[in-house]
Amino acid sequence: MKIVRVQDIIGTEREVSGPGWTSRRMLLKKDGMGFSFHETIIPAGAELNLWYKHHLEAVYCVAGNGTITDKATGETHEISDGTLYALDKHDQHTLRGGTEDMRLICAFNPPVTGSEVHDEDGAYLPDTSED
């Protein structure tokens, strides 16, 4: 059994930030669960264009507020405590922070390894490492 506490991740290599996001990688591929599990903070007012071409992602909001726009349909959905979005079609999307920092709990299938970089489309490249 593994016990992971977010306070032990903050300030380590498992806490990663980019423009408009900070993510604490609580479980990565190497943790052997078959998915990765993240706490992501989106600051108020941030705007992120994302497209996980090679991953499925479910995201559950537990605090704060914001919106997600589905770029395929142009539809925008409100996000607040208790809202989950599932990117079941590798959906291209824009995530916007609202009036309060959003705290999101995210799971990725296949798991993120931790060494991905966002490409020019906001995607992560596929994992080509050996298991």
Select 58 or 74, whichever has its Cβ closest to ligand 9YT.
58
Interface pattern 19-38 for ligand 9YT (x via CB under 6 A) = ----x-x------------x
**Interface size with ligand 9YT, residues (CB under 6 A):** 11
Phi, psi of 68 (to 5 degrees): -130, 135
Candidate residues 26, 27, 41, 50; the one interacting with ligand 9YT per rule CB under 6 A: 50
Select 1 or 6, whichever has its Cβ closest to ligand 9YT.
6
Interface segment toward ligand 9YT; rule CB under 6 A; list 1-9, 63-71, 76-84, 104-112: 104-112
CB of 112 to ligand 9YT, least distance (A): 6
Select 1 or 128, whichever has its Cβ closest to ligand 9YT.
128
CB of 47 to ligand 9YT, least distance (A): 13
Contact between 59 and ligand 9YT by CB under 6 A: the answer reads yes
DSSP string, the chain: -----HHHHTTSTTEEEETTEEEEEEE-GGG-SSSEEEEEEE-TT-EEEE--TT-EEEEEEEESEEEEEETTT--EEEEETT-EEEETT---EEEEE-SS-EEEEEEEESPP-S---B-TTSPBPPP-S--
How many angstroms separate the CA atoms of 84 and 121, rounded?
23
